[in-house]
């Protein structure tokens, strides 16, 4: 799993697996946000299954699905409110990490300079978590 850190508390990545959830728990992630709609592609884990796996490992779970490039106000607000209410390390994911990154970046425009947002959002993974052998 390739992780990109957007700020002190938020990591983003592409689709996660059961093994990735276990690794996230071991790394201290306390909340997972899923930005994928169920059924986007064959073989994709369903939201309910990700939620069960996360909660079994003590990780809170939130599903804020974004279909295509439809970033409505309600979704952006829900994502921002979730980040504000979380008290620890968060992992947000979608198919590639782009929707999760965009949901983070949109409300940042109020408080951060555009250059800082664009720099943080560049695909430069800072951590690489290897799948357990």
pLDDT in single tens digits along all 133 residues of the chain: 889 999 889 999 999 999 999 999 999 999 999 999 999 999 899 999 999 999 999 999 999 999 876 788 889 889 989 998 987 899 999 999 999 999 998 877 777 777 787 787 776 655 544 444 3
pTM of this prediction exceeds 0.85:
no
| Burial class of residue 79, CB neighbours in 10 A (0-12, 13-18, 19+) | buried
Strand pairing category for 60-63 and 10-13: unpaired
Instruction: Pull the structure tokens for residue 115.
Output: 């250059």
Instruction: Pull the structure tokens for residue 84.
Output: 């504000």
Note whether 83 and 104 are within 8 A (CB). Answer: yes
């Amino acid at each position: 799993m390739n992780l990109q850190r957007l700020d002190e508390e938020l990591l983003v990545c592409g689709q996660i697996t059961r093994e990735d959830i276990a690794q996230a728990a071991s790394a201290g992630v306390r909340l997972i946000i899923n930005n994928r709609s169920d059924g986007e592609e064959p073989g994709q884990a369903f939201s309910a299954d990700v939620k069960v796996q996360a909660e079994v490992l003590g990780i809170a779970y939130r599903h804020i699905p974004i279909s295509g490039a439809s970033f409505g106000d309600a979704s952006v607000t829900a994502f921002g409110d979730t980040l504000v209410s979380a008290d620890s390390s968060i992992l947000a994911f979608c198919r590639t990490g782009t929707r999760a990154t965009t949901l983070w970046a949109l409300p940042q425009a109020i408080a951060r300079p555009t250059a800082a947002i664009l720099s943080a959002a560049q695909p430069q993974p800072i951590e690489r978590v290897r799948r357990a052998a």
